[in-house]
Amino acid sequence: MTGGAYSLRKRLLGWLLFSTAIIGTVALTDTYSEAVKTANVVSDRVLAGSALAIAERVAVSEDGKLEVDIPYVALEMLTSAAQDRVFYRVDGSHGEFLTGYQGLPSVSPEEPNVAIFEDAFFRGEPIRVAVMQRSASTGINSVPFTVTVAETTIARRQLAQSILFRSALRLLAMIVGASVIVWVAVTISLRPLFRLSEAIAERNPSDLHPIDQKVPVEVQNLVDTVNSFMVRLNAALEALRHFTGNASHQLRTPLAIIRTQLALSERAETLAQAKDAARKGDESVAHAEHILAQLLRMAKIDAAGSGEPQALSRIDLVEVAQTITADYIPQAAEAGVDLGFEGEGTVAVLAEPLLIGELLGNLISNAIAYAGDNVEVTVRAYRSAAGQVCLEVEDNGQGIAPEKRDMVRQRFARGDGNPAPGAGLGLAIVEEIAHLFGGQLLLDAGQNDKGLKVTVLLPAAG
């Protein structure tokens, strides 16, 4: 299902463009502010120079009045390609207008000989005004006057816009370049993932070996997770293959017997012969059910061992063993077996209760089925002097020869000459469960070298 798939390259490129657009907008706003400031600084110097040039040509006439000889060269300093218009005005000491554009806005400077600048409007156009206060000397006293020079702001705006436009072009070139670099870099960086995808796609479906492909560190955890999953999947498939192989092998004989008995019952000449065939067929069905149940238990244990760790809980082994032993007393009595339990106090272990019940149930069932007639079977649960928890099932029956004890641990292995039906999986199941909980299975002779004592050693719960 690919409905939720997305392009990593496009997503990274989108984040780059989004973040760059925000940063670029802030940068261009600051650039425009600096451009306007720079244009004002440059143009204001020329404007102040023109005001100073006019002020230098103001003099006092013989009758004590101010005379102005406008140096038009000073005004030509302000002309530009943008064809800004220039305005001037000269006022006397008491604000009387001397010459220039009478309606031109002016202000009163706070300090003499220092130009001040302001933005204003004249004849409906924005202008930049420079005002300077000077004094003309008569030899006896000084006559103050004010010079105002202004120009339209077309050139200033064009300069600021030119700086902004060039900055925007540089920023755009940077964004385009960065986008290309990100696209190429991500494409190159994703090549190991493409090779990983190709390597997996070319694999045979039955090849579940771990992936051995060089990938970036950021992807290594993903590869490790996939490898871990493939190991678990391989273990599960192996368990399935074992189960199907074992089932087909172990069920073949009882099924063949069932078919044979059905055929015999069909050809039976008397009711007694038919009943005998039906009885033997029923026994084979029960045997097949037992084998299948054992195989399912073994498959469950295999899955528990190869899958996720079991959720262990603290259980009292004495209480669990006593309860399970009590459940088997009717079956033991029917088989002529004296089944009893020894144990007291509390013996705690960390285990899964159902599997511990399966373990002990197999040991008790084996003892009832194989120990023989008129025997005693004793179940014990206690803590040893070494600090280990011991679960024992001991009988005084026929036992197992020492040289065959390792053999009967194997799957489908049974003791020689044992007429009781079975699949040979009981001890294998017990040992698998014991290993799940960090335990150990021991087979020894019973008291006075009679019978068999099966001991399961488990770590004690802290």
| 383 and 441 assigned to the same domain | yes
Place of tokens 């299975």: 441
Whether residue 397 is predicted with pLDDT greater than 90 in this model: the reply is no
Question: What per-residue confidence (pLDDT) applies to 122?
Answer: 92
- Rounded to whole angstroms, how far apart are CA atoms 259 and 247? 17
Question: What per-residue confidence (pLDDT) applies to 423?
Answer: 47
Whether residue 379 is predicted with pLDDT greater than 90 in this model: the reply is yes
Whether residue 419 is predicted with pLDDT greater than 90 in this model: the reply is no
Token readout for 65 is 């009045």
Query: In this structure, how many other beta carbons lie within 10 angstroms of the beta carbon of residue 189?
Result: 15
Query: In this structure, how many other beta carbons lie within 10 angstroms of the beta carbon of residue 2?
Result: 5
pTM: predicted TM-score of the whole model, two decimal places = 0.44
Distinct helix (H) and strand (E) counts, the chain: 9, 14
Q: Which residues have C-beta within 8 Å of that of residue 278, sequence separation ≥ 6?
A: 261, 265
| 364 and 263 assigned to the same domain | no
Q: What is the mean pLDDT of residues 126-148?
A: 86
At 56, the pLDDT band (50, 70, 90 cuts) reads confident
Which of 305, 321, 337 delimits the end of a domain?
305
* 412 and 426 Cβ atoms separated by less than 8 Å: no
| 279 and 409 assigned to the same domain | no
Q: What is the mean pLDDT of residues 362-376?
A: 84
Please give the torsion angle defined by the CA atoms of residues 216, 221, 225 and 228, in that order, rounded to the nearest 10 degrees: 90
- Write the CATH number for 132: 3.30.450
> 134-148, 219-233, 408-422: which range is least confident on average?
408-422
Question: What per-residue confidence (pLDDT) applies to 291?
Answer: 60
Tell me which residue range forms the domain holding 126. 8-162
| 139 and 16 assigned to the same domain | yes
At 420, the pLDDT band (50, 70, 90 cuts) reads very low
Which of 162, 177, 193 delimits the end of a domain?
162
At 309, the pLDDT band (50, 70, 90 cuts) reads very low
Asked whether residue 259 is domain-assigned, the answer is: yes
Question: What per-residue confidence (pLDDT) applies to 129?
Answer: 92
Question: What per-residue confidence (pLDDT) applies to 300?
Answer: 62
| 275 and 323 assigned to the same domain | no
Question: What per-residue confidence (pLDDT) applies to 16?
Answer: 83
> 64-73, 288-297, 403-412: which range is least confident on average?
288-297
pLDDT digits (tens, 9 = 90+) for 225-263: 888 888 877 777 776 676 665 556 556 666 777 778 778
Asked whether residue 288 is domain-assigned, the answer is: yes
Question: What per-residue confidence (pLDDT) applies to 131?
Answer: 92
- Rounded to whole angstroms, how far apart are CA atoms 27 and 175? 13
Asked whether residue 171 is domain-assigned, the answer is: no
Q: What are phi and psi of 391, to 5 degrees?
A: -120, 115
Bigger pLDDT: 300 vs 210: 210
2-6, 86-90, 357-361, 372-376, range with greatest mean pLDDT: 86-90
Q: What is the mean pLDDT of residues 294-317?
A: 64
Asked whether residue 276 is domain-assigned, the answer is: yes
| 330 and 273 assigned to the same domain | no
How many Cα atoms within 13 Å fall on the side-chain side of residue 302? 20
Asked whether residue 175 is domain-assigned, the answer is: no
- Write the CATH number for 249: 1.10.287
Asked whether residue 31 is domain-assigned, the answer is: yes
Percent of the chain with pLDDT over 90: 7
Q: What is the mean pLDDT of residues 366-395?
A: 87
| 36 and 114 assigned to the same domain | yes
Q: Which residues have C-beta within 8 Å of that of residue 168, sequence separation ≥ 6?
A: 28
- Rounded to whole angstroms, how far apart are CA atoms 112 and 102? 22
Question: What per-residue confidence (pLDDT) applies to 130?
Answer: 92
The mean predicted confidence, pLDDT, of the chain is 80
At 81, the pLDDT band (50, 70, 90 cuts) reads very low
Question: What per-residue confidence (pLDDT) applies to 77?
Answer: 59
Question: What per-residue confidence (pLDDT) applies to 416?
Answer: 47
Question: What per-residue confidence (pLDDT) applies to 401?
Answer: 80
127-131, 179-183, 297-301, range with greatest mean pLDDT: 127-131
Bigger pLDDT: 234 vs 114: 114
The strand pair at 389-395 and 376-383 is best described as antiparallel
Asked whether residue 297 is domain-assigned, the answer is: yes
| 359 and 415 assigned to the same domain | yes
Query: Residue 88 carries which DSSP code?
Result: E
Question: What per-residue confidence (pLDDT) applies to 341?
Answer: 92
Q: Which of 347, 402, 335, 341 is nearest to 373 (CA)?
A: 335
| 327 and 387 assigned to the same domain | yes
Whether residue 170 is predicted with pLDDT greater than 50 in this model: the reply is yes
65-69, 347-351, 405-409, range with greatest mean pLDDT: 347-351
- Rounded to whole angstroms, how far apart are CA atoms 256 and 127? 113
Query: In this structure, how many other beta carbons lie within 10 angstroms of the beta carbon of residue 311?
Result: 6
Report angle CA 235, 241, 242 to the nearest 5 degrees.
90
- DSSP state string for 233-302: HHHHHHHHHHHHHHHHHHHHHHHHHHHHHHHHHHH-SSHHHHHHHHHHHHHHHHHHHHHHHHHHHHHHHH
Q: What are phi and psi of 412, to 5 degrees?
A: 65, 15
| 355 and 425 assigned to the same domain | yes
Asked whether residue 94 is domain-assigned, the answer is: yes
Whether residue 78 is predicted with pLDDT greater than 80 in this model: the reply is no
| 292 and 330 assigned to the same domain | no
- Rounded to whole angstroms, how far apart are CA atoms 127 and 35? 17
Q: What is the mean pLDDT of residues 170-191?
A: 85
- Rounded to whole angstroms, how far apart are CA atoms 418 and 424? 11
- Write the CATH number for 416: 3.30.565.10
| 327 and 398 assigned to the same domain | yes
Sign of the alpha-carbon torsion through 72, 76, 78, 79? positive
* 31 and 164 Cβ atoms separated by less than 8 Å: yes
Domains: count for the chain: 3
Which of 305, 320, 346 delimits the end of a domain?
305
- Rounded to whole angstroms, how far apart are CA atoms 35 and 155? 12
pLDDT digits (tens, 9 = 90+) for 9-43: 788 888 888 888 898 889 888 988 888 888 888 88
| Region label for 381, one of left (φ > 0), alpha (ψ between -120 and 50) or beta (otherwise) | beta
